[in-house]
Amino acid sequence: MLRIIKTRIQQKYRTMAYPDGPPPELPSRFTGRPVVNHGTCRDGCDLCIAACPVHAIHMSLDTEGPVIDTGRCIFCRACEEACPAGIIHFSREYRLATSPRHELFVQAGSPEHGPARHEVAVRFFNRSLKLRQVSAGGCNACEADTNVLATLAWDLGRFGIQFVASPRHADGLLITGPVTENMRLALEKTYAAVPDPKIVIAVGSCAIAGGPYVDHPEQHNGVSDILPVDLFIPGCPPHPLTILDGLLRFIGRVG
Amino acid sequence: MTSFVFLSTVNGQAINRAEIPVFDFKDLRAAIIDYVKAGARISGLPAWREDDGRLRMVAVLSMPASGDILLGACDMPDSWRSLTPDCPSAHWFEREIAEIWQVMPEGHPWLKPIRFQPPRDLQLQGKIPAIGITGFFSIKGEESHEVAVGPVHAGIIEPGHFRFLCHGETVYHLEISLGYQHRGVERAMTGGPGPRSIHYMETLAGDTTIGHATAYCRAVEALSGIHVPPRAEAIRAIAAELERIANHTGDLGALAGDIGYLPTMSYCGRIRGDVLNMTAILCGNRFGRGLVRPSGTAYDLDRELIELLITRLNSAEKDLKGAVEIMFDTPSVLARFEGTGALSEDTAREIGLVGPAARATGLDCDVRREFPYGMYRFAQVHTCTWTTGDCFARAYVRWLEIKASIEFIRRQLLELPEGPVSLNVSPLRGDMLAVSLAEGWRGEICHVAATDSKGRFAFYKVIDPSFHNWFGLALALRNQQISDFPLCNKSFNLSYCGHDL
């Protein structure tokens, strides 16, 4: 018993100050939201488009520069390396989540981060959000970094957000994975079991657009074609801070 | 010993495909059984369709005593005498071949799909049964009942279907039905390597990014005949051991949580994050995405980062010691761990168990020592075993391995070789085959890659350690209480996505 108490003292108080204090320190090599600088692409240059393994980039007719779909992006930095004009670079911005899908597109002049506030979520779930997690394909990294939020360092419970065992007890689903054909029915049934009003959160590039498996016939390119999605949290996988920030902005707990 | 001699090669070496001896199936079957009796393990039984329509299978046997990898091939008939009755470790492999290629191992004791994936041959599409619709053992009689769980589970975990056949509280048998995570990775690798290949490998099992990426890169390096600079080998090994520490730490915490011992659960959950953050110091990503690349690593370490890593390692070591030792010192914890879900060494060997679960039974297996690769050719990590094969042993072996890995990383960081971390890549040579084994944190990872005449992948086969071990979990649960399932399951902590591919 004394040893347990001694260990408790040695392990200290570890819950982070965020969001009241500063966010936890991110590693120096962290890959955050991409930024597209104003500048001129060389005539006909499409090296970034060719370099992207998941076809997340297209050319804008307005800005005549690249547009990056951060929902599809797997944050591999191949476009940054390929760009001869230095127009694309990845920042350390961790606020990647947005509520409307179209806000995930980043081009020259895009704001630092997109909006994630959702009026239904703010109204009903501001102080209590119970989620059922469904893993629908993917690699288990998004699940791992979602699970991390329940550890004492992040302590998700202090915001009234909790993962519950049954969809009947849930206010919505948090979905990871590209939705494999083998998981589609189970996902639909789980969604049907959640009482209204309900919300759907897609975490990770798989759940948003298929991730590395985009266009494989064994999966469905993410959740959007199967269920209405209210919050998109990009990343491969998203950093736990990105997920937490997304959830808090979604329910209006931070601005 | 067998009179049919296989081709002998070593881990991570490419050989000409034409050199692999081809036997009749009957002779290959006899040879596999003889080699396995002589101590070989079945590391893989990949099959693929040749251009002329023949279905070719190659047996990849690893011989721990000599460090050799033995290869022998045959053309598969539409039906064959199943290996499994004479060689139980072929059980899952034969089911896989039967499912993908729609062929029949006659006399297989429990033939059914393992992934519910579409057959590889297009003309056979449509034959696939819906996921989970298959035969299950059943139980009848007074007080007998069945419990079905999944694919959606109560926690944040991957999907799989479990069916318990019980008499009262006692589980007679557990059936595990997987495939919910199947996303077509091996199919998509054919014709590669392409821009997505390394990303497929890094996401085979997200918690084994370094393990699988390293196995893949070593296969590619062998096929293209390039060498990796020593500094990159050291950084890969550091990352691999960090991956082991992070996952083992998470498992020890989760095991504590499953039996309601909350202090260790809370501390280990946090410390696991600290270790993942050390991997993020290497490459910016907590799971090691973007670090291991063909010909080396994408990132180097400077003096400042090395010192930061050593400081973090020391502090994680101190925190872990406190967090884990209180658990193993608590009688109520030991009472729940000891004797729960035990497997014998003989069973482990017979079914081909790998990794910490095998070492917990006393089986002294470790790819790092038996088939050394990369940095492990120059620096050894102590192989940690225990004898009881129960939940205690699986937990305790993890703790021993954490300590061994910390020592290894510290030594590597202090003695990091000088020089570059990557060299130029070159194209893959045609008509070659390479077997790449690595010791992931769950156990033996086996990648088998073969090229066509143009140097593209004719096939790419991945065998995650979970492929060998799922059946071990089913056996460990026999005659246990149904309430012990979460504990037993966590003590194996197998990958669904690594199995389903």
> How many domains, in total, are found in chain A?
1
Token digits for B128? 């696939």
Q: B208 and B441 in contact (C-beta within 8 Å)? A: yes
Output the pLDDT for position B122. Answer: 65
The CATH number of residue B443's host domain is: 1.10.645.10
Same domain, B366 and B452: yes
Measured CA to CA, the distance from residue B501 to residue B497 in angstroms comes to 6
Neighbouring C-beta atoms of residue A53, cutoff 10 Å? 18
Interface of A with B in 191-220 (CB under 8 A): 211-213, 216-219
Token pair 């991730």 in the structure block, residue = A211
Same domain, B265 and B399: yes
Q: What is the pLDDT of residues B146-169, one digit of tens each?
A: 999 989 988 899 999 999 999 989
Tell me how close the Cα of A123 comes to any Cα of chain B, in angstroms. 26
The CATH number of residue A157's host domain is: 3.40.50.12280
Tell me how close the Cα of A212 comes to any Cα of chain B, in angstroms. 7
Torsion angles phi and psi, residue B228, rounded to 5: -105, 135
In a domain, A100, yes or no: no
Output the pLDDT for position A62. Answer: 80
Model confidence band, residue B226 (pLDDT cutoffs 50, 70, 90): very high
**CB of B119 less than 8 A from some CB of A:** no
Q: What is the pLDDT of residues A87-131, one digit of tens each?
A: 999 999 999 999 999 999 999 889 988 999 999 999 999 999 999
Same domain, B231 and B324: yes
In a domain, A233, yes or no: yes
Containing domain of residue B100, as a range? Answer: 7-114
In a domain, A222, yes or no: yes
In a domain, B491, yes or no: no
Domain stops at, among B114, B143, B163: B114
Chain B residue nearest residue A79, CA to CA: B195
Please choose, from the candidates A66, A79, A13, the residue with its C-alpha nearest in 3D space to the C-alpha of residue A37.
A66
Please choose, from the candidates B491, B483, B447, the residue with its C-alpha nearest in 3D space to the C-alpha of residue B465.
B447
Output the pLDDT for position B125. Answer: 60
In a domain, B144, yes or no: no
In a domain, B489, yes or no: no
Token digits for B163? 């069916």
Across A51-61, average pLDDT: 93
User: 3-class DSSP state for residue B271?
Assistant: helix
Same domain, B89 and B201: no
Ranking B38-47, B128-137, B451-460 by mean pLDDT, the lowest is: B128-137
In a domain, B470, yes or no: yes
Same domain, B238 and B105: no
Interface of A with B in 43-102 (CB under 8 A): 51-54, 74-78
Model confidence band, residue B42 (pLDDT cutoffs 50, 70, 90): very high
In a domain, A123, yes or no: yes
Say if residue B191's pLDDT is above 60: yes
In a domain, B336, yes or no: yes
Cβ separation B159–A135 shorter than 8 A: yes
| Residue B416: burial class (beta carbons within 10 Å; 0-12, 13-18, 19+) | middle
In a domain, B142, yes or no: no
Containing domain of residue A182, as a range? Answer: 119-250
Cβ separation A139–B205 shorter than 8 A: yes
> How many domains, in total, are found in chain B?
2
- For B74, residues 6+ apart whose C-beta sits below 8 A from its C-beta are B22, B23, B24, B25, B27, B28, B56, B57
Output the pLDDT for position B50. Answer: 87
Same domain, B330 and B233: yes
Same domain, B198 and B109: no
Predicted ipTM of the assembly: 0.94
In a domain, A105, yes or no: no
Cβ separation A28–B287 shorter than 8 A: no
Output the pLDDT for position B334. Answer: 96
Measured CA to CA, the distance from residue B67 to residue B81 in angstroms comes to 30
Q: What is the pLDDT of residues B321-353, one digit of tens each?
A: 999 999 999 999 999 999 999 999 999 999 999
Question: Chain A partners of B203 at a C-beta cutoff of 8 Å?
Answer: 138-139, 141, 211-212, 236
Tell me how close the Cα of A38 comes to any Cα of chain B, in angstroms. 26
The CATH number of residue B92's host domain is: 3.30.460.80
Token digits for A38? 């104003």
User: How far are the Cα atoms of A85, B231, B308 from residue A28, in angstroms, in the given order?
Assistant: 24, 21, 12
Partner residue facing A135 (CB), from B157, B195, B281:
B157
In a domain, B235, yes or no: yes
In a domain, B321, yes or no: yes
In a domain, A73, yes or no: no
Output the pLDDT for position B126. Answer: 56
